[in-house]
């Protein structure tokens, strides 16, 4: 079987929205292998540091858990400085020979910051408070931006509705949605 013919694992859509004094992050529960849904209720949103930081991941689950564990260590090493912890993880992820092969994207949020961390060494801060990743990330992001601009919905409601819209478009996203929310300090 050529690499082109191999079935690909696909999992999830994660979205975060910072709006109305709150930050919400949510994800669907679907994991797909090729054209088969393997699981519909996977939890891809995790709280760390006693709920001070909420993380969401897309990509390989095992890779994401490895990266989340490393991020939690960095967050403990740089207490109160989530951007520094994210930058240190991104640097390690990009330069370490083993970590470099991990395939996942991570969104981390706390009361002050929303960040996307990638394996290319990027730490992205959204200009509008909206980040979407995963197979339906672009659909969810577009829906969230429209709802932020043209509705009175809360951050949690925007995340839930936007992920629902993504699930209607993207076959790798379902409507088994989990949303967590934190109060913003800025």
Close Cβ partners of 157 (under 8 Å, ≥ 6 residues apart): none
pLDDT reported for residue 183 = 95
Residue 141 has pLDDT above 90, yes or no: yes
Structural domain spans, the chain:
9-181
pLDDT reported for residue 133 = 95
Q: Is 5 annotated as a binding residue?
A: no
Q: Is 16 annotated as a binding residue?
A: no
Average pLDDT for residues 91-103, to the nearest whole number?
81
What is the β-pairing status of strands 9-11 and 13-19?
unpaired
Burial 110-120 (b: 16+ CB within 10 A, else e): beebbbbbebe
Average pLDDT for residues 176-184, to the nearest whole number?
96
Q: What is the DSSP letter of 172?
A: T
pLDDT reported for residue 1 = 47
| Per-residue model confidence as pLDDT tens digits over 149-169 | 999 999 999 999 999 999 999
Q: How confident is the model at residue 2 (pLDDT cuts 50, 70, 90)?
A: low
Residue 175 has pLDDT above 50, yes or no: yes
* 42 counts as catalytic: no
Neighbours of 60 (CB within 10 A): 15
Neighbours of 4 (CB within 10 A): 5
Q: Name the average pLDDT for the chain.
A: 90
Q: Is 167 annotated as a binding residue?
A: yes
Average pLDDT for residues 62-77, to the nearest whole number?
90
Superfamily assignment of 9-181 in CATH?
A: Aminohydrolase, N-terminal nucleophile (Ntn) domain (3.60.20.10)
| Cα–Cα distance measured from residue 66 to residue 85, given in angstroms and rounded to the nearest whole number | 15
Higher per-residue confidence, 186 vs 173: 173
Out of 12, 13, 16, 141, the active site residue is 12
| Among the listed residues 40, 24, 16, the one whose alpha carbon sits nearest the alpha carbon of residue 173 | 40
């Amino acid at each position: 079987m050529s690499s082109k013919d191999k079935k690909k694992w696909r999992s999830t859509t994660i979205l975060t929205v910072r709006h109305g004094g709150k930050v919400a992050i949510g994800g669907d529960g679907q994991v797909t292998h090729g054209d088969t849904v393997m699981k519909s209720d996977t939890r891809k949103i995790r709280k760390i540091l006693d709920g001070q930081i909420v993380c969401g991941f897309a990509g390989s689950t095992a890779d994401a858990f490895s990266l989340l564990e490393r991020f939690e260590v960095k967050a403990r090493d740089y207490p109160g400085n989530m951007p520094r912890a994210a930058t240190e993880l991104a640097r390690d992820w990009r330069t370490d020979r083993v970590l470099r092969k991990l395939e996942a994207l991570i969104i981390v949020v706390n009361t002050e910051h929303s960040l996307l961390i990638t394996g290319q060494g990027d730490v992205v801060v959204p200009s509008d408070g909206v980040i979407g990743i995963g197979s339906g990330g672009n659909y969810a992001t577009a829906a969230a931006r429209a709802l932020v601009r043209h509705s009175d919905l809360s951050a949690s409601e925007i995340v839930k509705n936007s992920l629902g819209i993504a699930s209607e478009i993207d076959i790798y996203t379902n409507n088994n949605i989990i949303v967590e929310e934190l109060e913003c300090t800025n």
